[in-house]
Amino acid sequence: MTDPTAPGPLAATAALMADPARARMLAALMSGEALTAGELARIAGVTAATASGHLARMADGGLLAVHAQGRHRYHRLASEEVAAAIETLGGLAARIAPARAWTHGEAAREARLCWNHLAGRLGVALHARLVAEGWLTPAPGGWDATAEGRARLAATGVAIGEAERSPRFAAHRCIARDCMDWSERRPHLAGGLGREIARAWLGRGWLRRLPAVGEGDLLARRRIAVTPEGARGLRESLGLATA
């Protein structure tokens, strides 16, 4: 006989995201970076004591992975699944509450990071372009890249070999998957390939990070823009026009 008042796993997980302070921490961690407990306390707007409790709960619940280093404790999202769940819920929330439409600035709608890959109009346009040119081909649960696609992307500095280091690629040749973009309502590219694309283009200066727009910016560390060299490179290498 199970306790009928026991919170199901769904309720328990949702409860971990249901607190404003915890939600602010999770939003900050959507940048993909690992942040210290102190940084997260400041972001969430609570004292270190309160933040410590929140972080312990989320780590215990499997949402966060913790890495101790010296007297700092670095926290990051535990897995891509966690990031996907947060993104899905966030998108649902944005759709449900269009009260004040889009409070994050037009630039963030143009390009931003989602977890560790590109989102916004740029991410969606990239996804559409890769599919339209036949550079991506369906694989179970996502996409594989064709030889032509691999060559094109490698020419932009993307480490295809790194993108293939995942159990999903080993099992099903699935190098990328879709992630629903909550500002564009169309998919952008996630998974190993999405991660490597963002890493490569940030690394070669095609994309640059933008500063947060204020205290407690929910998109802090996720704001990016295409540089002039990036616009030229994307046009010449992939035929991708940017705004």
Partner DNA sequence: CCGAGGCTTCGGCCCCGGGCGAAGCGCCGG
Partner DNA sequence: CCGGCGCTTCGCCCGGGGCCGAAGCCTCGG
The structure tokens listed for 18 are 């249901």
The neighbour count for residue 225, using CB atoms within 10 Å, is 16
List the alpha helices (DSSP H) in the chain.
9-17, 20-29, 37-44, 48-60, 80-96, 106-110, 120-132, 147-155, 160-163, 167-172, 191-203, 228-238
* Cβ proximity to its own copies, 133 vs 202, nearer residue: 133
Interface characters, 156-195, with DNA (x: CB under 7 A): ----------------------------------------
Positions touching its own copies (CB under 8 A) are: 4-20, 22-24, 26-27, 45, 61-63, 81-82, 84-86, 88-97, 127-128, 131, 136, 138, 140-141, 172, 178, 180, 186-187, 216, 218
Contacts of 93 (CB under 8 A, 6+ apart): none
Residue 13: name its binding partner from DNA, its own copies, none (Cβ under 5 to 8 Å by kind): its own copies
Binding pattern for the stretch 57-96 against DNA, x by CB under 7 A and - elsewhere: x------------xxxx-----------------------
What is the Rg, in whole angstroms, of the alpha carbon atoms belonging to the chain?
19
Would you say 182 and 91 are in contact if contact means Cβ atoms under 8 Å apart? yes
95, interface contact from its own copies, DNA, none, CB < 5-8 Å by kind: its own copies
**Stretch touching DNA by CB under 7 A, among 48-56, 153-161, 213-221, 224-232:** 48-56
